[in-house]
Amino acid sequence: MKLKPLYSFLQGDISKIEKELEQAIQSRSSLIEEASLHLLQAGGKRIRPVFVLLAGQFGNYNIETMKKVAVALEMIHMASLVHDDVIDEADLRRGRPTIKAKWNNRVAMYAGDFMMGRSLEVFTLIEKPKAHQILADTIVQVCIGEIKQIEDKYRFDQHLKDYLRRIKRKTALLIAASCQIGAIAAEVDEDIHEKLYLYGYYVGMAYQITDDILDFTGTEKQLGKPAGGDLLQGNITLPVLFARQNPEFRAKLEKVHENMDRNDLKEIIDDLQTSGAIQKSWEVSNQYLQKALKVLSTLPNNRANRTLKNIALYIGKRDY
């Protein structure tokens, strides 16, 4: 099952967004432009623009307006990816060298700042104070989430709620904001754009949990990086929290560190995969997806609604 065919009717508009993204990164500095283009061409699912467009279909859908919102949100996402790569000391992203690896940390940091600035520049064309408020709040929360992730690294005694708050900030809020701001830009009524926010939040949570599961179950080819990378970097995700209930696993877990023997890591990953933790994590993801579907059932039943439903169902089944 693939994601793209679910919204093939938006393909023309998505191409327009792609072009707008290429325009947005043009600059007087060839270095910054090359670095940004490098990231842009690495692709990615452009899932945030898709949510923006779908949410906009609940109101006065004007592609010129929707395009600006979609580009702004995708660029904020891209900026956070570049800065993440600095933090994670990652050399690969989507199977290609990161900006940080190809140039250096300094370029990665300013390329991220630049993309954030361009995003705001594009977004100022949307004259809806509420939309600006949501976007700014989201940016702050994403940053707090990133710092929390640093604070929580290798904290093997953390709680489930620490994890859930972290992925809310890290992923779910920006998807929720994409849905809500897309709707606001299309002048959708408040009760509907708030529901779309909620849908985005639930789907975002499920999406990140799935990502965290796939980091253990995916192959290196599927992930574009070796499996178990999150754990190695000290990021404690949902499958680890479930597997940790076993004292034997927990004892091994507490010995995890960045420079550990890869065979020891492999043993932990094998233990985790046979512990039932993966299955339990899928169940949590599904609970969020059920909530997302329930929200949709209270919204007008149009093509966008059916597509949002299919996307939620897809996330529940995706295997990379």
Report if residue 256 touches a second copy, rule: CB under 8 A. no
Task: Examine residue 150 and tell whether it contacts a second copy (CB under 8 A).
Answer: yes
Q: Cα(166)–Cα(241) distance, rounded to whole angstroms? A: 14
CA distance 254 to 236: 11
Q: Could you tell me which residues come within 8 angstroms of residue 255 by beta carbon, excluding any fewer than 6 positions away?
A: 264
**Side-chain half-sphere exposure of 199, counting CA atoms within 13 A:** 33
Asked whether the beta carbons of 58 and 299 are under 8 A apart, the reply is: yes
d(CA 258, CA 139): 29
Site for a second copy in 111-140 (CB under 8 A): 111, 113-114, 116-118, 120-121, 123-124, 127, 129, 132-133, 135-137, 139-140
CB 55, min distance to a second copy, A: 20
What is d(CA 13, CA 234) in angstroms, rounded to the nearest whole number? Answer: 40
142 touching a second copy, by CB under 8 A: yes
Binds a second copy (CB under 8 A): choice among 23, 45, 143, 302: 143
By CB under 8 A, residue 147 contacts a second copy: yes
For residues 239 and 213, the answer to whether their CB atoms sit within 8 Å is: yes
Q: Contact between 69 and a second copy (CB under 8 A)?
A: no
28 binds a second copy (CB under 8 A): yes
- Residue 90 binds a second copy, judged by CB under 8 A: no
**Considering beta carbons, is residue 116 or 223 the nearer one to a second copy?**
116
Judged by CB, which is closer to a second copy: 140, or 160?
140
37 binds a second copy, rule: CB under 8 A: no
Nearer to a second copy, 6 or 232 (CB): 232
3-state secondary structure of 186: coil
